[in-house]
Amino acid sequence: MYYIGIDLGGTNIAVGLVNQAGEIVKKTSVPTRAERPFEEIFADMADCIRKLLSETGVKESEIDSIGIGTPGCIDTEKGILIFAGNFKFGKMVDYRALMAKHFDIPVYIGNDANVAALAEAKVGAAKGKTNAIMITLGTGVGGGIIIDGKIYEGHFSAAGELGHIVLVKDGQQCSCGRKGCWEAYASVTALVRQTKEAMQANPDSIMNKTPLDAVSGRTAFDAAKKGDKAALAVVDRYEDYIAEGIADMINIFSPEVVVVGGGISKEGDYLLDPVRAKIRGQVFGSGLLPDREIVAARLGNDAGLIGAALLHA
Amino acid sequence: MYYIGIDLGGTNIAVGLVNQAGEIVKKTSVPTRAERPFEEIFADMADCIRKLLSETGVKESEIDSIGIGTPGCIDTEKGILIFAGNFKFGKMVDYRALMAKHFDIPVYIGNDANVAALAEAKVGAAKGKTNAIMITLGTGVGGGIIIDGKIYEGHFSAAGELGHIVLVKDGQQCSCGRKGCWEAYASVTALVRQTKEAMQANPDSIMNKTPLDAVSGRTAFDAAKKGDKAALAVVDRYEDYIAEGIADMINIFSPEVVVVGGGISKEGDYLLDPVRAKIRGQVFGSGLLPDREIVAARLGNDAGLIGAALLHA
């Protein structure tokens, strides 16, 4: 028995054939072009699935279920997208009905950050843990809550917007409409902003070898590793923002493990060791309880696809 | 069948005989005097239980279980207090063994804020709801997380420290050691501080009829109801702090209901209507999803006792 996992992103749609061990047997992808009618997007997904089946020799009857990870707020029971924030995905889109036009296979849908957390909890960095929190540092700060090995969805499946808690009251404008959200300080978008500010304030910094419009989440980290003082200060403050938010999560959930995902997590212990040290004094019962684990995600960009495939469980 | 519920507070110990409907049949209390040996405290609890049994005619064999709500971080499986923050309760105290010296009845223990949430979820303001968050505005800001009708404990039973998330980075010193926690702005302790500051900055305010050392959580609310401008500003800002934290909770948990407890919740809709209005624009998907309910607690000081009695379930 196999599972189809689909990671429906704003830019690309990744489709994978996943086995019972949660491993990708084969995967493919197509551009999303989110401005298109949704029928076309689903027709492309169906083509990808047929392609994977034909290339692997797996029969349609061997597919247990199709799981779709999507941005936005969803009704998991009905398989409907309620709305998708900044994405041009419309409102009240019936994913299940759209896929039923192509396959007579059960369809499950989940929020993209939630399914990534599920994948890390089942077969990734939090494997074997019962309660885990995953945060994904990217354009925004995504969150996923795993309780008793399952995604905690909340009412209207709207739980897990972990990036949208206020860290700096009346602070930076956040994309969600609030001011001072964690996301507005700990996302890679925020790191780029912080890097550019430091470059302009420190003309001597080697960060200025990078043109302003080419600054990425790596600019400050690369310069910091070379000992650049301004860059070290940016990285230190950025780690501070990450640590404060993770300490919040530990005080709220006391999870067995916090998984940190997103491209920046590839910095590994260079990022996480200072974060762990900063968190240590910030959590309730610090020194009296053992540290909760903080680890880098393991599945990278495949987490969404694998987690979607695991939604059936 | 009956249940004993014990609310072990820093000042008083409330002990109650509770029936299967979660109603208090009879209750009594004794001063805690937390500086005493724990054996004495438990002997007092046992005396209270015997007194309740003798006064009601209920037999020891009719008691299903004894539940104890306590401040601090506990090992619920072993029935041990790990540590209790500011309280002089010591560390690694075996509540179950201490009670076993008096009764051969199963003993359950829970964190006091958690058991209050359990009581509100089972027989109080959140009755019938599956997922609920309770916050208690008092000396601190206590929290309780109810998921699938049960207390969510987390690793080391340390979850639910909802007051200890940072709202103002590098802000007011919090009792927990962090700076800028929600508790340092939304607790009654914080309200008293905010009230005193406003009194000193506004000598004409009628709040100044109250001597500084007699200021309570009601001082600003009472003056605000009489139209005092300085008091209205204090109340408005305090409601702002409450709203920001509850909006965080909704973005994290998307609970069916948020229950607001503590003495200040007796202000009812005078407090909660402005809080609801402030929250409306702050939560993720605002306007696209229905508002999550925000209600005042119903069980008052009995919540701890009733929730402790319900720990057996």
CA distance B151 to chain A (A): 12
- pLDDT at residue number A284: 85
State which residue of chain A sits closest to B169, comparing Cα positions.
A168
Is B159 within 8 Å of A253 when comparing Cβ atoms? Answer: yes
Residue type, B81: L
* Residues in A touching B73 (Cβ below 8 Å): 284-285, 288-289
CA-wise closest residue to B99 among B1, B8, B9: B8
pLDDT of A87 above 70? no
- In tens, the pLDDT along A94-118 reads 999 999 999 999 999 999 999 999 9
Q: Is the pLDDT of residue B86 over 80?
A: no
Question: Strands, DSSP E only, in B95-218?
Answer: 107-111, 132-137, 141-147, 150-151
Residue B6 to residue B14: CA distance in whole angstroms:
6
- Answer yes or no: do B68 and B83 share one domain: yes
| C-alpha closest to that of B204 among B234, B231, B235 | B231
Same domain (yes/no): A136, A116 = no
User: Measured at the alpha carbon of residue A147, what is the angle toward residues A142 and A150, in degrees to the nearest 5?
Assistant: 85
Classify A292 as helix, strand or coil: coil
- For the residues B146-168, what does the mean pLDDT come to? 94
Q: For position A73, what pLDDT does the model report?
A: 85
Contact assignment for B251 to A147 by CB distance below 8 Å: no
> Which of A183, A242, A251, A293 is best to mutate for the B interface (most B CBs within 10 A)?
A251
pLDDT at A272 over 70: yes
Q: What is the dihedral of CA B278, B284, B285, B290, to 10 degrees?
A: -50
Dist. CA B7–CA B48, nearest whole Å: 12
- CATH number of the domain to which A22 belongs: 3.30.420.40
Does B139 share its domain with B276? Answer: yes
Q: Do B166 and A167 touch (CB under 8 A)?
A: yes
Residues A226 and A137 in one domain: yes
Q: How many CB atoms lie within 10 A of CB B117?
A: 33
The reply to whether B115 and B240 lie within a common domain is no
The partner residue sitting opposite A156, judged by closest CB among B162, B166, B254, is B254
Give the dihedral of Cα atoms A180, A186, A187, A189; nearest 10 deg. Answer: 80
For chain B, how many structural domains are there in total? 2
What is the pLDDT averaged over residues A132-159? Answer: 94
Q: Are A24 and A77 members of one domain? A: yes
Locate the chain A residue with the closest alpha carbon to B168.
Answer: A168
Residues A244, A144: one domain? Answer: yes
Mean pLDDT along residues A131-136: 97
Residue of A nearest to B292 (CA): A155
Q: Which of B147, B153, B158 sits opposite A289 (nearest CB)?
A: B158
CA distance B146 to B254: 12
Are B93 and B180 part of one and the same domain?
Answer: no
Chain B nearest C-alpha distance from A216 (Å): 25
Cβ-in-10-Å burial (0-12, 13-18, 19+) of A54 comes to exposed
The pLDDT score that the predictor gives to residue A46 is 98
Nearest CA in chain B to A256: B155
Residues 6+ positions from A193 with CB-CB distance below 8 Å: none
Q: A with B: how many residue pairs have Cβ under 8 Å apart?
A: 134
Pair of tokens at residue B201 = 């900055």
For B28-82, how does the pLDDT look when each residue is reduced to its tens digit (9 = 90+)? Answer: 999 999 888 899 999 999 999 999 999 999 999 999 999 999 988 888 889 998 8
Residue linked to tokens 């929250």: B279
The string of pLDDT tens digits covering residues B101-139 is 999 999 999 999 999 999 999 999 999 999 999 999 998
Residues B151 and B254 in one domain: yes
Same domain, A288 and A307: no
Looking at residue B64, its amino acid is D
**Predicted confidence (pLDDT) at residue A288 exceeds the cutoff of 90:** no
Residue A283 in this model has a pLDDT that exceeds 70: yes
Q: How far apart are CA B8 and CA B33, in angstroms?
A: 11
- Does A254 share its domain with A144? yes
To the nearest whole Å, the CA of B89 is away from the closest chain A CA by 14
Cα distance between residue A186 and residue A195, in whole Å: 12
CA B6 – CA B15 distance, rounded (Å): 4
Nearest C-alpha in A relative to B160: A252
Distance from the Cα of B311 to chain A's closest Cα (Å) equals 19
Do A48 and A135 share a structural domain?
no
Q: What local confidence, expressed as pLDDT, does residue A72 receive?
A: 84
pLDDT attached to residue B73:
85
Q: Which of A87, A169, A292 to mutate to test the interface with B (most CBs of B within 10 A)?
A: A169
Answer whether B289's CB lies under 8 Å from A158's CB: yes
> Domain range spanning residue A272?
128-297
